[in-house]
């Protein structure tokens, strides 16, 4: 069965979808994106994803009406036979097609493209935990924008894969920021610690869910920077994201975290997260 995608108001076979080479997404990576996970046809935290999308669009001075996207995504899931599975919708909005110019052109129509794909939970990894590496954070200074310009992220994620790891933790001036496509949270003495929401990190939706779980269950949630040295000394470590959900880290570089097994607080947060799901 041919995959159905959505492009500028049309549902069509993926092989028939085409975008102009003059699209500013292609020329300048001038656009933003979102990914939302669906559990058996129901989106998880859809409104939070839409709010983050609006913030990214605003930061780029990119005007787009987001109402009605949920209907588009429901149709995509239906047409691709993913209504009753764990799946994700990816969509991106670029500034649109125009002759190459560095300033933002006026009165052009944005390009919107969306597709769906199966995204089951990584059950074994959620149970057993993963290994990660660290690297200097080589990204730009507006990591709070969910930009389609992801070359530094992909370079560093590829480095993790080449080193037999599952993710790369990013360090900027000695401070842990986040991972290439996930938030990172540490656990120390029963407290959850993570980088504050600044221009240096993406406001993760799963991070927000964990914060809410902590507040509800009277677990101290501390938003403060922690160092690379403190990273290695955490009792537990977690990466959190739409695809990774609440993922335990059991080893950073060559250093085991805790006893090298997912910790009790991580397990608790996992359980509460999937209760919400």
pLDDT beyond 80 at 1:
no
Pick from 83, 118, 153: which residue ends a domain?
118
Q: Of 118, 144, 167, which residue is a domain's last? A: 118
**pLDDT tens profile 88-138:** 999 999 999 999 999 999 999 999 999 999 999 999 999 999 999 999 999
Same domain, 226 and 150: yes
- pLDDT by residue (tens digit) across 107-120? 999 999 999 999 99
- The one catalytic residue among 109, 146, 216, 224: 146
Domain coverage including residue 193: 123-276
Burial 30-68 (b: 16+ CB within 10 A, else e): bbbbbbbbbeeeebbbbebbbebbeebbeebebebebee
* Same domain, yes or no: 84 and 164: no
Q: What is the pLDDT of residues 226-252, one digit of tens each?
A: 999 999 999 999 999 999 999 999 999
> Within this chain, do residues 194 and 64 fall inside the same structural domain, yes or no?
no
Q: What is the DSSP letter of 15?
A: G
CATH number at residue 100: 3.30.470.10
Report the percentage of the chain scoring pLDDT > 70.
100
42 lies in the same domain as 131 = no
Domain end position, chosen among 118, 152, 169: 118
134 with 222, same domain?
A: yes
Number of structural domains (the chain) is: 2
| Model pTM score | 0.96
Contact 20, 8 (CB under 8 A): no
Residue 42 is among the residues annotated as catalytic for this protein = no
């Amino acid at each position: 069965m041919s995959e159905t995608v959505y492009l500028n108001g049309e549902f069509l076979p993926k092989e028939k979808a085409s975008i102009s080479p003059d699209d500013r997404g292609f020329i300048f990576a001038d656009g933003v994106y979102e990914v939302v996970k669906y559990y058996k046809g129901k989106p998880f935290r859809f409104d939070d994803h839409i709010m983050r999308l609006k913030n990214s669009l605003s930061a780029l001075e990119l005007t787009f009406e987001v109402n009605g996207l949920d209907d588009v995504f429901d149709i995509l899931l239906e047409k691709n036979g993913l209504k009753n599975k764990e799946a994700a919708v990816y969509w991106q909005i670029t500034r649109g097609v125009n002759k190459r110019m560095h300033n933002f052109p006026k009165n052009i129509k944005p390009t919107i493209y969306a597709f769906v794909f199966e995204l089951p939970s990584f059950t074994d990894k959620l149970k057993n935990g993963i290994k990660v590496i660290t690297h200097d954070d080589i990204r730009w200074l507006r990591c709070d924008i969910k930009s389609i310009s992801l070359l530094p992220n992909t370079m560093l994620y590829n480095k993790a894969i080449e080193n037999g790891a599952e993710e790369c933790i990013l360090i900027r001036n000695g401070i842990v920021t986040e991972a290439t496509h996930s938030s990172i949270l540490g656990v120390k003495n029963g407290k959850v610690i993570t980088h504050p929401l600044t221009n240096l990190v993406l406001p993760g939706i799963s991070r927000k869910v964990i914060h809410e779980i902590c507040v509800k269950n009277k677990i101290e949630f501390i938003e403060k920077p922690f160092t690379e040295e403190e990273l290695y000394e955490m009792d537990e470590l977690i990466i959190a994201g739409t695809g990774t959900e609440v993922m335990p880290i059991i080893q950073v570089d060559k250093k085991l975290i805790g006893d090298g097994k997912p910790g009790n607080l991580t397990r608790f947060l996992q359980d509460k997260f999937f209760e919400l799901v």
